[in-house]
Amino acid sequence: MSKPYPKEFRENGVWVARNRDPDVTLEQIAADFGVHPITLSK
């Protein structure tokens, strides 16, 4: 089992995903953070 992401990393990723522009996809944000898109959608 992999280690969980650090709290600050998770909070930042969620904040960016929730406050993204309408033309930015979760896939693009996930690629920037180096995580799978499903990680951000949960």
Model pTM score: 0.78
Instruction: Decide if 34 is inside a domain.
Output: yes
Full residue range of the structural domain in which residue 27 is found:
7-41
pLDDT of residue 42: 78
Instruction: Decide if 19 is inside a domain.
Output: yes
**Torsion angle defined by CA atoms of residues 18, 41, 26 and 5, in that order, rounded to the nearest 10 degrees:** 90
Instruction: Decide if 1 is inside a domain.
Output: no
Instruction: Decide if 37 is inside a domain.
Output: yes
pLDDT of residue 1: 64
Instruction: Decide if 20 is inside a domain.
Output: yes
Residue whose tokens read 């898109």: 37
Number of domains in the chain: 1
Q: What is the pLDDT of residues 1-42, one digit of tens each?
A: 667 889 999 899 999 999 999 999 999 999 999 999 998 887
Instruction: Decide if 2 is inside a domain.
Output: no
